[in-house]
Amino acid sequence: MKSESKIIEHMKVEDLVREIRELERDAKTLNRLHFILNVYRTNDIAKSSENMGIPTRTGNDWAKKWNEKGIDGLRHKKGAGRPPFLSTIQLEELDNWIESEEYPVAYNVYLYIKENFGVDYSKRQIDRIINKLNYVRVKPYPIAEDQPENAEELLEKATECIDPDNDIYGFVDEVAVQNTPNVSRILKKRLQTKNKS
């Protein structure tokens, strides 16, 4: 029997994520300080880099920051790293474009970004952008225009003679036997859920 684990929600999810990120930054600083301690002991940046499992170039960079500013030089700076290729305004434009498309698919998002913003993202990065804009992939199930109004009744009548316990039955489309729909996944906004407090 599977038991459910109960946990008390001491804080909101956003606050918990923020706390985790702060501690991760502290862990990075701690790791860099261990490197400096290793350099103190070995007096060799290359050897200390090897001991810590980091590239010598990174070790030289940390040593330079330590020499210039001490521990403050090793702390994680907010906003450090390469700036994104797409600005907030461009992401809003992309979001509006996706919303306006009848059947938006990830490949068309890739093409739109490449043609309009001149950025050639990888498939993985396109997936990240789609997720950041709060979209998910769903399979569309279009309703046939020529479907009769009493389709449910016709199906029920056609299947009256089937014994579900003894008969094997399935559905065949006009082209070939399929066990999954041959449909591309389209993008759809994720439903907003209320946070528990």
* pLDDT tens profile 8-24: 777 787 887 888 888 88
More confident residue, 115 or 197: 115
Q: Is the pTM of this model over 0.85?
A: no
pLDDT tier for residue 28 given thresholds of 50, 70 and 90: confident
pLDDT tens digits for 106-162?
A: 999 999 999 999 999 999 999 999 999 999 888 776 666 777 888 889 888 888 888
So what's the pLDDT on residue 137?
A: 86
Indicate if the pLDDT at residue 168 is higher than 70.
yes
pLDDT band for position 83 (cuts 50, 70, 90): confident
In one-letter notation, the amino acid at residue 182 is N
Q: Length of the chain in residues, anyone?
A: 197
**CA–CA distances in Å: residue 187 to residues 28, 42, 64, 87, 119:** 36, 55, 47, 21, 21
Q: Which helix (H) or strand (E) holds 58?
A: helix 56-69
45 near 37, Cβ under 8 Å? Answer: no
Q: Tell me the pLDDT tens digit for each residue of 34-81.
A: 899 999 999 999 999 999 899 999 999 999 999 998 888 888 776 556
33 within 8 A of 71, measured Cβ to Cβ: yes
DSSP letter at 136 equals E
Return the domain boundaries, the chain.
Answer: 13-74, 88-138
pLDDT of residue 111: 94
Q: Is residue 170 scored above 50 in pLDDT?
A: yes
Compute CA 121 distance to the chain's CA centroid, rounded to the nearest angstrom. Answer: 15
197 band by pLDDT with thresholds 50, 70 and 90: very low
Short-list 184, 183, 182, CA closest to 105: 184
Q: Are 32 and 80 in contact (CB under 8 A)?
A: no
Q: What is the number of helices (H) and of strands (E) in the chain?
A: 8, 2
Contact 42, 27 (CB under 8 A): no
- Between 173 and 190, where is the model more confident? 190
Mean pLDDT over 183-187 rounds to 75
Alpha-carbon distance of 171 to 179, in angstroms, equals 9
Looking at the chain, which runs of residues are DSSP E strands?
135-138, 186-189
Assess contact for 184 and 102: CB atoms under 8 A: no
Query: CA nearest 186: which of 76, 93, 108?
Result: 108
